[in-house]
Structure 1
């Protein structure tokens, strides 16, 4: 018999407005402690220096993490021109400098090459795995790597303002796996002036918004109280972009046992990923085929 984790069976999402200077993993640990939850995880790592939306999944909501991780995300960030760093942000060591600075028109002219489906090489200091090791662990040992370029869909990349000749603020909307630091690095190279990220904020991620987030001070103040429980969002918010399929009682029983279950009606097309509900509660997420949902993940609620 599987051993239960310590804590309560808390299910849902807590949206944290992450401050700079802490890791995503430490935020998850804080939330799990504050809610006395058995299980917790997060959807999409933020660098320690970054701020903004960190969506923490509790309990059965951890099964929906892939559907949020794959979602579109929105960022704002400030780039400093003239300096390249080994981490592509202000936390790293300067490795090259240049005196040239781009004009606003030059920046605008360079941006179209970074929109649409692009190929992006991750930063040396990133969580990408290289022969089973994280790239940042290899980089810390002083070894340089040839990381393979990866496809990235950039829906939006615009110049917001130029505080001064040395810096520029941008807004970006992109898909899964995007590195803002790599955008700053490559844009600086394309402009011939070099560049790195000074600060970075994730304003939203899929259905989650920074303005709905809770700060660490408030988490501490509300720890182990019903008031913090009340800040939880339902598990199914992570499935908002998928069709919901209502189940018959018999279909719900079959799905809960891991078998395909017949749905009462459907807005899905055969082959679509969808989720099924019974009496207002999510039962499973999976593939819709021939009037049935074939489960990939079953929720024990």
Structure 2
């Protein structure tokens, strides 16, 4: 008989402004403890030294994580020009240097090559798997790997500040799977001067932004206090990018049991992925076909 997981049956999203020095997993574990929740996860890893938005899903909201992971997200990051490191950030060892420094116009011209559908090679120190093992583990052992390039959609990439000749501040909006460190590395290579990331901050991800986000100090201060629940955002926020259909009570019962059911839909076409709501509460996610929703995920409250 399976052991019953301890904790509260609480569902929703807690938006965190992650500090530098903590892993995303450490943040999730602290939030789960503070909320006394049975289950928690996050929608997109931030490197330990990165800061900014980390959306933590609790309970049934974990079933909506893929929709946030797949959504557009925005980053502000600072690039140190003139140096490459083995980690493509300031934590690594400098492996190449150059006295060349591009002008602002040089940078702006080069950025156009990183917008749209691009192919990107993840950093050697990254969590991608090579023959079943994380790349960063092999890189720590001194191994240099051939990592296959991966597609990335970049919606926008702008130069927003140039504090000095060695430094450029950029803002990028991109899709799933983007490595900001790779952008800095490849931009430096395109400019002929080398480059690496010295700071990175996620500004927003899908429907979530930093407005009203909690710091980890605030989470600890309110830990296991009912006042923390007031900061919880509805599970349904994670479904903001999907169309919504409505269902009567009898259909909700069928959907929650994993069966197709009649729904009321407007502006939804055959085969569209959407979510069904009863009285504004999410019941299931699935495909709309001939007046019915065929569920792929159901929410149990």
TM-score in same-fold range (> 0.5): yes
Asked whether the equivalents of residues 80 and 197 of structure 1 are also in contact (C-alpha less than 8 Å), the reply is: yes
User: SS state of the match for residue 211, structure 2?
Assistant: helix
Tell me how far apart the structure 2 counterparts of residues 20 and 226 of structure 1 sit (CA, whole Å).
27
Unpaired runs of at least 5, structure 2: none
Structure 2 residue 120 is matched with structure 1 residue 120: yes
Tell me how far apart the structure 1 counterparts of residues 90 and 208 of structure 2 sit (CA, whole Å).
27
Structure 2 equivalent of residue 104 of structure 1 = 104
Asked whether the equivalents of residues 244 and 275 of structure 2 are also in contact (C-alpha less than 8 Å), the reply is: yes
Alpha-carbon RMSD: 0.9
User: SS state of the match for residue 259, structure 1?
Assistant: coil
**TM-score, length-scaled by structure 2:** 0.98
What does residue range 74-223 of structure 1 map to in structure 2 within 5 Å?
Answer: 74-223=74-223
Tell me how far apart the structure 1 counterparts of residues 163 and 132 of structure 2 sit (CA, whole Å).
42
Asked whether the equivalents of residues 107 and 191 of structure 1 are also in contact (C-alpha less than 8 Å), the reply is: yes
Tell me how far apart the structure 2 counterparts of residues 200 and 8 of structure 1 sit (CA, whole Å).
34
1:132 Cα shift?
1.2
1:270 Cα shift?
1.1
CA offsets 1:20-45 (integer angstroms, 9 cap, x no match)? 11100000000000000000000000
User: SS state of the match for residue 285, structure 2?
Assistant: strand
Structure 1 equivalent of residue 234 of structure 2 = 234
User: SS state of the match for residue 212, structure 1?
Assistant: coil
The 1:300–1:3 alpha-carbon spacing in structure 2 relative to 1, beyond 3 Å, is farther
Tell me how far apart the structure 1 counterparts of residues 13 and 133 of structure 2 sit (CA, whole Å).
30
1:75 Cα shift?
0.6
What count of residue pairs does the alignment treat as equivalent?
301
Tell me how far apart the structure 2 counterparts of residues 278 and 88 of structure 1 sit (CA, whole Å).
48
1:281 Cα shift?
1.3
Asked whether the equivalents of residues 244 and 265 of structure 2 are also in contact (C-alpha less than 8 Å), the reply is: no
1:264 Cα shift?
2.1
Tell me how far apart the structure 2 counterparts of residues 246 and 7 of structure 1 sit (CA, whole Å).
31
Tell me how far apart the structure 2 counterparts of residues 127 and 284 of structure 1 sit (CA, whole Å).
32
1:16 Cα shift?
0.3
Structure 2 equivalent of residue 255 of structure 1 = 255
1:70 Cα shift?
0.1
1:212 Cα shift?
2.3
Higher alpha-carbon deviation: 26-35 or 125-134:
125-134
1:2 Cα shift?
4.3
Structure 1 equivalent of residue 18 of structure 2 = 18
Structure 2 equivalent of residue 32 of structure 1 = 32
Tell me how far apart the structure 2 counterparts of residues 286 and 178 of structure 1 sit (CA, whole Å).
27
Structure 2 residue 65 is matched with structure 1 residue 65: yes
Structure 2 equivalent of residue 275 of structure 1 = 275
Could you list the runs of 4 or more consecutive aligned residues of structure 1 that deviate by over 3 angstroms after TM superposition?
none
1:211 Cα shift?
2.3
Tell me how far apart the structure 2 counterparts of residues 151 and 243 of structure 1 sit (CA, whole Å).
26
User: SS state of the match for residue 204, structure 1?
Assistant: strand
Tell me how far apart the structure 2 counterparts of residues 294 and 271 of structure 1 sit (CA, whole Å).
10
User: SS state of the match for residue 186, structure 2?
Assistant: helix
